[in-house]
Amino acid sequence: MIILGIETSCDETAASLVEDGTATLSNVVASSVEMHSRTGGIIPENAAREQIKAMIPVIEQAMDDTKLRAQDIDAIAVTVGPGLIGSLLVGVETARTLSALWTKPIIPVNHLLAHIFANYLERDKNELPSFPALSLVVSGGHTDLVHMNSVPQNVHNFVRLIGSTRDDAAGECFDKTARILGLGYPGGPAIAKCAKKYLNKKDNNEQSKELNLFPRPMIDSDDFDFSFSGLKTSVLNYVKETQKHDNDKLAAEVQEAIVDVLVEKSIRAIRKYKPKSFMLSGGVSANERLVEKFKKRIQAEKLEVKFFYPEARLATDNAAAIASAAYFVGKHVDWIAVTANPGIRVADRL
């Protein structure tokens, strides 16, 4: 089954053809990140205007890369939310038009679930995650710990939210602290790069011992919720109060504080729910330090869980993950019934 995925929830315009939910035949992502780096963040109106221009060429490119034609496609999958309303509408209206024009079924997809399914891409059928499973979805707008009790068939009875951020998302904390430090947008990759420079100068033992400048919010709370806005304020206060600072060290400090909380809370959830698989997902899972610390903790605590994380290019927003989620948990609907839904959550609370 070949699905055309379309993704426009934030500033990317993406299209991809995926076979049977796992094999990426083409994956095109156009980003207006340079424009947003000039304004220090995304201005939604500007993002949507760029997406209108990019949408059709991106779909054409995704088709051309495979030499497949409209008649070879079995369904069209599109992100309906969460995201920016103007941006979502570009993808949704395009998908509806193509669905009507090509008489293909349309599959609405929750962007956060799609992040989880990035873990299914480029993997053999016998290597896919087994259930029950937990996933930490860490993106620019969300930080969600979710539990999945069985092999995905119907979204509504297999995913439950067990914890979430009470204020800023982890990615947002990377982006906002990077701005405070003058490192540019998007902040996650900028912080990771500076932090790497700093960490490369230290040996392993030294690395963690020294990095304790900033608080680890809610790390000891007996729930699975997160909070990152206080950390952002601590960084702001520190920068205001100190005259000279080493930005590479501060980047490493910020990264370590975020990573420590994400790892600690997730490991505690793994101990409680004893899942067979743990899937890291969302743009922040492109962070090497986060992946490395998860691997170390799982090994050190001899946890019997298989750890999955997506390739970095599939961790951040892309349309292959949309097509994959559509294949495994999507439901065909009539194009008339598809609408953008900017505020939807990954799932209901457990």
94 binds Zn ion (CB under 5 A): no
Strands of 143-148's sheet, edge to edge? 159-164, 143-148, 133-138, 277-281, 306-308
Shortest Å distance, C-beta 277 to Zn ion: 20
Piece in contact with ligand KG4 (CB under 6 A), picked from 67-75, 181-189, 204-212, 326-334? 181-189
Give the integer Cα–Cα distance in Å for 192 and 287. Answer: 7
Residue type, 285: S
Give the integer Cα–Cα distance in Å for 189 and 193. Answer: 6
Return the number of the residue (140 or 152) whose C-beta is nearest ligand KG4.
140
Scan residues 214-273 and list those touching ligand KG4 (CB under 6 A).
none
Shortest Å distance, C-beta 295 to ligand KG4: 16
Residue type, 296: K
140 binds ligand KG4 (CB under 6 A): yes
Return the number of the residue (108 or 187) whose C-beta is nearest ligand KG4.
187
Nearest to 177 by CA among 240, 103, 241, 251: 251
Work out which of 13, 27, 139, 143 binds ligand KG4, going by CB under 6 A. Answer: 139
Return the number of the residue (248 or 317) whose C-beta is nearest Zn ion.
317
Work out which of 7, 174, 317, 321 binds Zn ion, going by CB under 5 A. Answer: 317
Shortest Å distance, C-beta 329 to Zn ion: 17
- Report whether 242 contacts 236 (CB < 8 A): no
From ligand KG4, Zn ion, none, interface partner of 192 (C-beta below 5 to 8 A by class) = ligand KG4
Among left, alpha and beta (phi > 0; psi -120 to 50; other), residue 302 is left
Work out which of 189, 217, 310, 330 binds ligand KG4, going by CB under 6 A. Answer: 189
Specify the DSSP class assigned to residue 173: H
- Report whether 43 contacts 82 (CB < 8 A): no
User: In 212-253, at which residue ranges do the beta strands (DSSP E only) sit?
Assistant: none
Give the integer Cα–Cα distance in Å for 211 and 206. Answer: 9
The Cβ of residue 343 has, within 10 Å, a number of other Cβ atoms equal to 8
Scan residues 284-343 and list those touching ligand KG4 (CB under 6 A).
284, 286-287, 316-317
Work out which of 186, 217, 275, 330 binds ligand KG4, going by CB under 6 A. Answer: 186
Shortest Å distance, C-beta 265 to Zn ion: 20
From ligand KG4, Zn ion, none, interface partner of 217 (C-beta below 5 to 8 A by class) = none
Q: Which residues contact 230 (CB under 8 A, 6 or more apart)?
A: 215, 217
139 binds Zn ion (CB under 5 A): yes
Binding site for Zn ion (CB under 5 A): 139, 317
